[in-house]
Amino acid sequence: MIEDRHKKVFEVIERRQEGVIVLEDIHDPHNAAAVWRSCDGFGFQKVYLIFEKEKVFNPKKIGKASSSSANKWLDFKVFKSTKQCLEELKKDGYKIFATVLDKEAKNINKVDFKINKIALMMGNEHQGLSETAIKMANEKVYIPMKGMVQSFNLSVTAAIVMYEVDRQRNNLPKSLSFGKRDFHLSEKEKEEIKKRWRYN
């Protein structure tokens, strides 16, 4: 049983992909926890949380049912400032995509997500992303709707955007799937995760 568990852990870590899911001022922790489940399912290891206006919550201690315990397998980083978070992402070489309802935004189906360092940003359940977040983002994107309502809820939005990124990456020709087109975590990051997961 222990060997099977170790095999499963190593397989999951090998499938983890580069990218950061950024959530700004989420009001309801359970809405955020529902996003954790999609992060784990699509292999996104890193989640950044910004609490500039909303009450801070510990992502490791909430939403066990909502996330199906996915939170214990993810890496979280908490920020008190949107500006600080996005400046750090840009310094680390990430391209930031902001999900917005904006006439200047691009349909996600027409956006090129096939880059190594990508940050996918979603905002508050009611107000959406802040003006700072939108201005600092590299690109604005939206999910096309066919009904009367204008947008999906937070967890559905996150899942759809993650799916599109994953779909585009997986559809690359095998000859382009390595080197600069390798979207997996670095070997150093994989080893660090293995050490942490031994205690989960």
Residue 184: CATH number of its domain: 3.40.1280.10
Nearest to 82 by CA among 157, 132, 9: 132
Sole residue written with tokens 């349909």:
107
Check: CB of residue 17 under 8 Å from CB of residue 49. no
Specify if 99 maps to a domain. yes
**pLDDT tens across 61-83, in order?**
876 555 568 888 999 999 999 99
pTM: 0.91
Q: Write out the residue range of the structural domain in which residue 41 sits.
A: 2-189
Query: How many domains is the chain built from?
Result: 1
In the predicted model, residues of the chain with pLDDT beneath 70 are: 1-4, 63-68, 174-181, 199-200
Q: How far is CA 111 from CA 45, 116, 122, 139, in A?
A: 22, 14, 16, 9
